[in-house]
Structure 1
Amino acid sequence: MSRFRILLRQIWTIARRDFVATVFTPTFLIFLLAPVVMGSFGAIGGLGADAAQKGADAKTRIVAIVDPARSADIAALDLRLRQLYRNPDEAPPLLQTEAPGADPAAQARARFDDTRIDVVAVLYGPLATPQVLHTPTSARAGDYLAALAEQMLRADRSGVAPLSTVTKTIVSRRTSSLRGANASGFFAVFALFFLTLLLAGQVVSGVAEERGNKVIEVLAAAVPLESVFFGKLLGTFGVAVLFLLFWGTLLSQATLLLPPTFATGLSGLTPTIGLPLFTLLFFAYFTMAYMLLGAVFLGVGAQAASVREIQLLSLPITLIQVAMFGLGAVAVSKPDSWISTFAAIFPLSSPYYMAGRAAQSASLGVHVLALLWQALWVAIFIAIGVRAFRRGVLQSGSGSFRWKRRRAVQENAVDMGVS
């Protein structure tokens, strides 16, 4: 059997051992269902915030103090203008009309002190020279009332009824839009960040635990450390792939139950390179991101001798991931700047940015080079981690320092012979 085949067999043995030891345990089920717990907390918080927001919006009003004879016309015009707001959250508060009293200015000012409803803007006076009052945070509501007065004057000349009959036809794009490509790019960066944040951290705890119970020293005595490190990386990556397959299958079926508005929003995510090829590239960059961070975490976790040290290492590890996400997101928003070039070259941020670029550009050659570049750095990080483990934990040095150790042994032997 050739040396390369022996190396592959050793790596496969370590990877299979770690994969089985992780998957065939009761705690793996908890890990697999972790997104359910995270999603439940997020949903509870989101529903609570949404209920509070809707409760406040239901009692928020803008007020137009106009002649009762104009109330019906201004209400009809308000209804027509609101059709321009596709997102209900962007529309102004509901309009309430009132007849002017003896002092419209005092009446308008008093509306802000009403405790039954939350008035944010009031219009009063002649429509040709209206007065608009609004709160400091409701300038848009004030602008809407001013526009409403302007449109009422124009309607006085041409009537409130529409003057044209419009025929609307829905047209599908043959290519992805710039907004869809940019949204897909940011979504790819965020998804990559979320998955690596959730999955790559298990590498640290695994190798630190085995270092604490001396298992990794036993493995290092049986096979080369390079095989141990790379095998562990492949084993934990297999766990991550199983996690993705499980949740990917569930989410692919869950999309059939989503409301049409949500499905329409997802249809706006249109990668320039096409969805099938983009999915393949996204998985390739997820693999590289996991391998790069996993290789770094292997080297760092191998230096930790206790759970306390692992906890101390968790913060810088998380900060590294957040920094790479921020760098990738900024680079995707500025694809032709120096920061995008830096993000593509820097090994830890390269998968994030290139995953986003896959949604924005149809070029394939640059992705081949990027994947080869990232694979090279995976090997470099593993080599650095192995060397640090040998010198820091096994107290054995490595690599180019072997000739120094051999020379020291020879000198000690000579000294012992002389003595």
Structure 2
Amino acid sequence: MSESGTSLGRLSIWQAALVIARRDFTAILFSRAFLFFLLGPLFPLAIGVLAGGIGGNIANSDGPETIAIAMSAQDTAHILAARKNLEPVIARDLPKLESLPASSMEPPFDPVHFLATDKRQFAAVLSGSTEKPVLTATSERLQQWHGVVGLICAAAMSGNSLAIPHVAEQHLASSSLSQKRGRAITAKGAQAIMFLLIMLLAGMVLSNLVEEKGNKIIEILAAAIPIDAVFLGKLFAMLGISVLGITVWGSVAILGIGIAGISPSDIPTPAVGWPVFLLLGTIYFAMGYLLLGSIFLAIGSLASTVREVQTLSMPVTMFQVLVFFLASQASDKAGSALEWLAIIFPLSSPFTMLARAATDGHLWPHIAALAWQITCVAVFIKVGAKLFRQRVMKTGKLSPRKRRFFGAGSLLFRNSSARHR
């Protein structure tokens, strides 16, 4: 029998990985730190919602912006009447107008000085006459109101008889252009959410691995099971923890959307439909997490301290940001060489294919992409395990002294695994 055969009590690589995954998952799930891990992302979200509510209240308390009219009494009356007549047609774009008393317009009247010193906080001043109006405001307000003020003055000069034909309305649920833009928004949003989740969650494997290297638990495990199984078990344990965290955060987000009164119909529907899109999103998150997590595990195998982990993981993090930008640019150029490059490159493939699911309804490319990503995950894990053996276990096998030292631990682990089976 081979040394790895079950007759000598050693587990297969998948059985051993399941034991490691169950061990790590249970240890993290019932730790006090996990509760703070779940609550951590919710605090910035709650602060953002509160800040947005406060900002909205402040904006609403200011009321609509008002233009002060500094004209003769006759021109002012014509301007106000013209605005009233135009309100049923273009009410949304019409600014609020308010005439100034004669005492406020004593010559020489300076609109700039008036806006700087008046306590009523007008947004602009309309002076001159209906034939030659002068609008004093900031550049932003001038761009917003230039045409509207000109239309009001034209209606005032025509004796408020400006002929505006009635426009019949024919409602359309959506056009091809609006549908394309909506799906592009969904694609970008899904990419950003998946990137943030992966970057937030993938780093968990590092601290766990460095801790176990420091207290020699890794060497005990390596004496009992294949080192590849250690990598697999830790990856899938952290993936399970990540899925649990996303489930909690997603439930809170759905609850918050319901409280805010946002309808699901307000979010553009992806090309493959919401059920398939959410399924693909879950799968692509798992692939992206396993790809990046395997790299972080390899980094953890090369580091002995937390400081070394931070030093080695920083380039990978920055590189992952560049990968996200690549996938984001590729989603804007469907069918181009850039998109194919982003699909083939393993780290950007999950992000690019998720965006493709939002903009393209064909499903066969996802089957091919998932097969490619699974292959890359297997290769990354194999390379990471090899690096671990070379860096930590030196030749890939325990020295005779270490084997005798960890022999008791190996026997205990095998007996524990047999009981689990």
Which one of the candidate residues 31, 34, 39 is aligned to 1:33? 39
Distance 1:146-1:154 versus aligned 2 partners, 3 A rule: same
Partner Cα separation in structure 1 for residue 352 and residue 26 of structure 2: 33
Hey, what does 1:238 align to over in structure 2? Answer: 240
Correspondence for 1:390 = 389
CA–CA distance in 2 between the matches of 1:132 and 1:6? Answer: 81
Q: Which structure 2 residues correspond to residues 43-122 of structure 1 after superposition, within 5 A?
A: 43-47=49-53, 49-50=55-56, 58=63, 60-66=65-71, 67-77=75-85, 79-80=87-88, 83-84=91-92, 94-98=96-100, 106-122=109-125
Q: Secondary structure at the match of 2:99?
A: strand
Shift of 1:310: 2.8
Query: Residues 49 and 171 of structure 1: is their aligned pair in 2 closer, same or farther, counting only changes over 3 Å?
Result: closer
Which position in structure 2 is the counterpart of 1:200? Answer: 202
SS in 1 for 2:125: strand
**1:247–1:68: structure 2 CA closer, same or farther, 3 Å change rule?**
same
Q: How many Å apart are 1:309 and its aligned residue?
A: 2.1
Distance change (3 Å), C-alpha of 1:130 and 1:229: same
The residue matched to 2:117 in structure 1 has which SS?
coil
Moved more, 141-150 or 317-326: 141-150
Distance 1:155 1:385, change over 3 A: farther
Aligned pairs for 1:115-264 within 5 A: 115-149=118-152, 152-153=155-156, 156=159, 158=161, 164=166, 171=173, 177-259=179-261, 262-263=262-263
Structure 1 match to 2:18: 12
The one-letter amino acid paired with 2:143 is R
Matching residue of 1:323: 322
In structure 2, the residue matched to 1:408 is none
Structure 1 counterpart SS, 2:139:
coil
Q: Which one is further off, 375-384 or 332-341?
A: 332-341
TM-score normalised by length of structure 1 = 0.80
Q: What residue in structure 1 maps to residue 311 of structure 2?
A: 312
Quickly say closer, same or farther: Cα 1:78–1:199, change in 2 above 3 A. farther
Q: Distance in 2 between matches of 1:321 and 1:292?
A: 11
Q: Alpha-carbon deviation of 1:274?
A: 0.8
Report which stretch shifted further, 379-388 or 63-72: 63-72
The 3 A distance-change label for structure 1 pair 283 and 105 is farther
Structure 1 pair 131–376 and aligned structure 2 pair: CA distance change class (3 A) = same
Amino acid at match of 2:142: A
CA distance in 1, matches of 2:100, 2:376: 70
Partner of residue 333, structure 2: 334
Tell me if the contact between 1:332 and 1:340 (Cα under 8 Å) persists in the aligned partners: yes
1:311-369 residue CA offsets vs partner (Å, 9 max, x unmatched): 33453343233223222222222223332222111111111111111000011111111
1:289 CA displacement: 0.7
Residues 230-250 of structure 1 show CA distances to partners (whole Å, capped at 9, x for unaligned) of 111011101111112223334
Cα distance in 2 for residues equivalent to 1:176 and 1:165: 22
1:110 deviates by 3.2
3-state SS of paired residue (1:228): helix
Cα displacement (A) at 1:376: 1.2
Who is 2:286 aligned against?
287
**Structure 2 SS opposite 1:348:** coil
User: What is the letter of the counterpart of residue 72 of structure 1?
Assistant: L
What amino acid maps onto 2:28 in structure 1? T
Q: Does the CA-based 8 Å contact 1:176-1:272 persist in structure 2?
A: no
Q: Which has the higher contact order (CA 8 A, sep 6+)?
A: 2
Tell me, yes or no, if the aligned pair for 1:292 and 1:348 is still in contact at 8 Å: yes
Change (3 A) 1:206 1:81: farther
Alignment of structure 1 residues 259-270 onto 2, 5 Å: 259=261, 262-263=262-263, 267-270=266-269
The question of whether the paired residues in 2 share the 8 Å contact of 1:121 and 1:141 is answered with no
SS of match in other structure, 1:302 = helix
Rounded to whole Å, the distance in 2 between the matches of 1:340 and 1:334 is: 6
Farther-moved stretch of structure 1 (315-324 vs 339-348): 315-324
Secondary structure class of the residue paired with 1:69? helix
Q: In 2, are the aligned partners of 1:288 and 1:374 still within 8 Å (CA)?
A: yes
Say if 1:126 and 1:320 are closer, same or farther in 2 by CA, change over 3 A. Answer: same
Pairwise CA RMSD: 3.3
Change (3 A) 1:113 1:325: same
Instruction: Assess, with a 3 A threshold, how the Cα gap between structure 1 residues 171 and 352 changes in structure 2: closer, same or farther.
Output: closer
Deviation string for 1:107-139 (max 9, x for gaps)? 433333234244443332333432233323433
SS at match of 2:116: coil
CA–CA separation in structure 1 for the residues paired with 2:284 and 2:78: 62
**In structure 1, what is the Cα distance between the partners aligned to 2:186 and 2:151?**
37
- Residues 122, 142 of structure 1: 8 Å contact kept: no
Shift of 1:193: 1.0
| Aligned equivalents of 1:166, 1:72: Cα separation in 2 | 27
